[in-house]
Amino acid sequence: MPNLFFTVYTFEQYLTLSRKTKSLATRYWCACLKAYLGASSAYDVKKKLLTAEEKLKNSADWLNKSSRFFNKKEQGEPVIRLYVVEDIDRRANAPFSFASLLCHPLWQLIDNRTPSKHSINLALTNLPHHYVQMLFSPDEHGNLVRKKKLSNNAIKTLYRSTDIHAFTCWIAFTLELIDHDNPQMMDATQLSAIQYLLKMTLATPFAAIAEDLYLYLHHQFRLYFHRHANPFHYVLIYYKPDRERISLPLRLISNYCVSIKPTLELYEELYRRAIQTGIVTESHQERITFFNFIRHTEIQELSDILYQSKNHPSDLRDLKHQIFRRIFAYH
């Protein structure tokens, strides 16, 4: 069978990224390191990376001063020496390389302001092996060719996961539609992409950069996505129980930028309400399951049902049935 592995992006390529992209990559790397170590601050990260001997040898004042490195990385100052990243990986002793987060194809993908089919596929072939197999197949000469249609399992993986690899795919799928004449396909892909970003923000360390990345994507690519003047392609008006209006984004990238902060707060409120009514429990997995369940096109009905005074659904399946009944009743 042809070899499906491509040479992954290197630390040197991380260093060649534009200042803003490199800042986002560095902040995400630091956020993931903090989360893995269970650290609450830059000081705590430094402390957890020290050996027992180093902790005894060095004073608290030294530790406080030396933790400034991580303070600066949290603010987006790039790491410029590979051996520093490799030393941190050695000390963290994680089952994966944190250095790979700095070299992830996501950053190369969004750093290119003039994406092409070739540049998009190049980024995708640098994803982990199982993603490459999911998206590509070898031709008779052993070259990788994009699959025309993804399998059902691949689609489920892209929807249900909460990792940077799947998010890279959703951005790639969105950028591929720049010259596409099918607005329905554009709307569906963009909606999936923005919902994936929201879910990943609420369930992973991606929260450290999500809002800034969202704005950055608009800045980088908004001129490509200006065909629809109708704002209903970009936003959905949602009414909270107190009748306050919120504009929910329907697209990851457009020239009509809507803040994602109110939507993130709404997702949290709905999850809390679902816990109160006994539909879900409070756990990381149930949290992800609930966020996967949310659809912006159904969110008004979802909210109205959660906040009704009686006859609360017993579980998510029952909730989905009630949502469908309300939607069909309106039509």
Helical H runs in the chain?
11-15, 19-37, 42-49, 52-57, 60-66, 68-74, 82-92, 99-102, 105-111, 117-124, 129-135, 152-160, 164-176, 183-203, 210-221, 261-276, 284-293, 299-306, 316-330
Could you read off the pLDDT of 173-216 as tens digits, one per residue? 999 988 776 777 888 999 999 999 999 999 999 999 999 999 99
Residues 273-277: what's their mean pLDDT?
96
Q: Residue 300 above 50 pLDDT?
A: yes
Q: Residue 3 above 50 pLDDT?
A: no
Grouping H, G, I as helix, E, B as strand and the rest as coil, residue 84 is: helix
Residue 57: what pLDDT?
78
pTM: 0.91
Give the residue with greater pLDDT, 233 vs 251.
Answer: 251
pLDDT band at 29 (very low <50, low <70, confident <90, very high): very high
pLDDT band at 279 (very low <50, low <70, confident <90, very high): very high
pLDDT band at 23 (very low <50, low <70, confident <90, very high): very high
Q: Residue 331 above 60 pLDDT?
A: no
Structure tokens at 53: 């001997």
Give the residue with greater pLDDT, 186 vs 31.
Answer: 31
Q: Is the separation of the CB atoms in 203 and 284 below 8 Å?
A: yes
